[in-house]
């Protein structure tokens, strides 16, 4: 199958050797997003709550550019620099996702790019065109 590279201004441009997302058939592999503001390319101001919101907004931008939305996510991987933020992560994600929720892993890590406290990547299956 042919792969399609997804790129959008609705999320920060890649800051390394990767694409924002790659689509193969109806499956889209979204690269990890950190809480960079797409306009300023800077980490958003505020606490981890603000960072989680920005990451999910960035993922939504990439998902929409690929022809889907957050509701089409089937797997999410979350990386937190403090697992003390796990309960807050669940609260914020509940604002963006409805049941049935995607499968998810959440792991604690020592550090993330640019001093971010959270990074999330995902796999999405785009609905068939009608």
Residue 42 lies in a domain: yes
Give the pLDDT confidence score for residue 130 in this predicted structure.
Answer: 59
Segment 87-110 mean pLDDT: 98
User: What is the tally of structural domains in the chain?
Assistant: 1
Other CB atoms within 10 A of residue 108 CB: 13
Domain residue limits at 74? 3-125
Segment 96-117 mean pLDDT: 97
Entry pTM = 0.96
Give the pLDDT confidence score for residue 129 in this predicted structure.
Answer: 78
Alpha-helical (H) ranges within the chain are 48-65, 86-96
Tell me the CATH number at 19. 3.30.1330.40
The residue length of the chain stands at 130
Residues 49-72: tens digit of each pLDDT:
999 999 999 999 999 999 999 999
């Amino acid at each position: 199958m042919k792969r399609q590279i997804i790129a959008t201004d609705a999320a920060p441009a890649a800051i390394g050797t990767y694409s924002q997302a790659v689509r193969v058939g109806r499956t889209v592999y979204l690269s990890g997003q950190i809480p960079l503001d797409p306009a300023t390319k800077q980490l958003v101001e505020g606490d981890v709550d603000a960072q989680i919101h920005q990451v999910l907004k960035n993922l939504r931008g990439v998902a929409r550019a690929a022809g889907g939305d957050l509701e089409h996510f089937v797997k999410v991987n979350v990386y937190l620099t403090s697992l003390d933020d796990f309960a807050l992560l669940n609260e914020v994600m509940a604002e963006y996702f409805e049941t049935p929720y995607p499968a998810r892993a959440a792991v604690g890590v020592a550090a993330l790019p640019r001093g971010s406290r959270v990074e999330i990547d995902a796999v999405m299956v785009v609905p068939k065109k009608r």
